[in-house]
Structure 1
């Protein structure tokens, strides 16, 4: 048989980009302090909403980084797949917290809309402008990394959401500075909350799919089955399962009925090469069977 689970040391997609994550964490943490002070001084809900999202950024980025470090720990007898799933748990926590913060911002915007307070628009605009620069820098650092990891995607969405809030805060600041219409602060805050929902919901769905051991979206299980059944010596494939340990680390298991006279070791080598090279599945488990063995199966 091939490599056993306790020997898996495949680096996760997020683990390959933890340095960039740490850089963005430091940038976001520094700006968070400045933004909280600015929001209190200017009395701007939009700026405080941005600060709230920045807080979830910092916490989320920290969770993501910790999850990567934990995920790098070696497998042990009590956890034969290691700690890969901590990255997915971090992505779920990020999404849930961000959704909760968005709901709070919507509620607070409604409250303030009843009696909009005066806001120091010029100072608010300056703070938001600095935030925009910080968030754009963070997005540029994480954008490519987010393509292969839910954990990094969660971190990227955190920074993206804050970039949107910074733009919204600047728009509100310009409106209030030029017209004195303080309702803009509450309206922009509500718009920020609504904009964040769709992307965060998609992230949550993807992370939950991993936790439920659903088929990875980058693997077409029907194409995989047909490809394996075309290999010389394979009579048919059954009991095929594909799942993700974490983003970028897929695993599979399958029962293979071989044709009479086929070398088991040679067939196993070809099956493994096909799944690893063509479908980028890191860990494979094949049970080679003679025809008729299926009657001993618990499910097909």
Structure 2
């Protein structure tokens, strides 16, 4: 005879809903001002002949798409769980972060290739309009970044902020390149600084893409070790003799989930043990949602056919 527990954190869901509305507003603001200035910067880059400005306008183009995707993901993630998605829609934000990171990697590679070609065949750049457009872009990027900075630290928001940070660096590079060209007339500085910006963005883009992929693959949350969790529960929860089939993963970028089997002493009350295990998971490991199967006797999944069973039990959030 087995007992099951499904722990639901309603307070967390309410706070997440309110926070989602704030994030949605901030992301929308950043999206619209970025889209507006993107058109100006693209024209300025074409007119002045600056790769740095064109690269920055390209960043702004992907930013607009990335911010639109992030905005849609925030709205989507707030939808309540239903029959088809019993955990809700938090993964929408992780998918958006993955796509944003992958887009930035592709854009960075393109900038490097174009810059190498321009170093070999320098293009004349009109430094004065380049300087003014880049300065305007920097102001817009700072405003967008500040808006996103207050939108939370979820992976989706990190991905969107990464795009804007890339734009900010791009604007600084374009301003620097324009100043050097005005003072010295050395045109190769424009593509050289573009490569520097692309390299900086590439590192952050890789980190966001990697983290999002880890969550999408239902990897163990960073900082957690399933074996350590089992040992901790055995050592600190009275009546628990064995913990096995421990699985931990993340729904969104912040919400940790766990399933596990627990074997108890014959004289241990199952309800008391469930309460203690859930409390320990929350306080020690930050896991607020757990599915626990109590096993007074032998584990029904201990046969060879089930030895590598990693399926998650069905659960309604």
TM over 0.5: yes
Unaligned runs of 5+ in 2: 309-317
In the other structure, the counterpart of 1:299 is 307
Partner Cα separation in structure 2 for residue 146 and residue 204 of structure 1: 18
Q: 1:197 aligns with which of 199, 202, 209?
A: 202
* Distance of 2:149 and 2:210 partners within structure 1: 20
Matched positions, count = 298
Q: Give 1:29's match in structure 2, choosing from 32, 35, 39.
A: 35
Which among 202, 219, 230 is matched to residue 225 of structure 1?
230
* Aligned residue among 68, 76, 82 for 1:62: 68
Aligned to 1:83: 89
Alpha-carbon distance in 2 for matches of 1:220, 1:125: 51
CA 115–57 in structure 1, closer or farther in 2 if over 3 Å, else same: same
Give the deviation of 1:154 after TM superposition: 0.5
Other-structure match for 1:152: 157
1:161 aligns with 2:166: yes
User: CA 1:174–1:22 in structure 2 vs 1: closer, same or farther (change >3 Å)?
Assistant: same
Alignment of 1:73-152 (within 5 A): 73-143=79-149, 145=151, 147=153, 149-152=154-157
More displaced, 281-290 or 22-31? 22-31
How big is each residue's C-alpha offset from its partner over 1:68-88, in whole Å with a ceiling of 9 and x where there is no partner?
111222222222222221111
The one-character-per-residue Cα deviations of 1:181-228 (angstroms, maximum 9, x if unpaired) are 111111112222222111111111111100111111143434433332
Normalized against structure 2, the TM-score is what? 0.87
Please name the residue that 2:190 is paired with.
185
Residue 237 of structure 1 pairs with residue 243 of structure 2 = yes
Cα offset, 1:168, TM superposition: 0.8
1:257 paired to 2:263: yes
User: Cα distance, 1:295 vs. partner?
Assistant: 5.9
Q: Is the 8 A contact 1:264 1:288 kept in 2?
A: yes
**Root-mean-square deviation (CA), in Å?**
2.3
Q: Give the alignment's TM-score, normalised by structure 1.
A: 0.91
Superposed displacement of residue 98, structure 1: 0.8
Q: Deviations over 1:28-74 (max 9, x none)?
A: 12221221121122121110100001111111111011111112222
Q: How does 1:36-47 map to 2 (within 5 A)?
A: 36-47=42-53
Stretches of structure 1 that go unaligned for 5 or more consecutive residues are none
Measure, in 2, the Cα distance between the counterparts of 1:14 and 1:153: 15
Instruction: Report if the CA contact (8 A) 1:161-1:196 is conserved.
Output: yes
173-182 vs 19-28, which moves further: 19-28
Mapped partners of 1:136, 1:226: distance in 2: 47
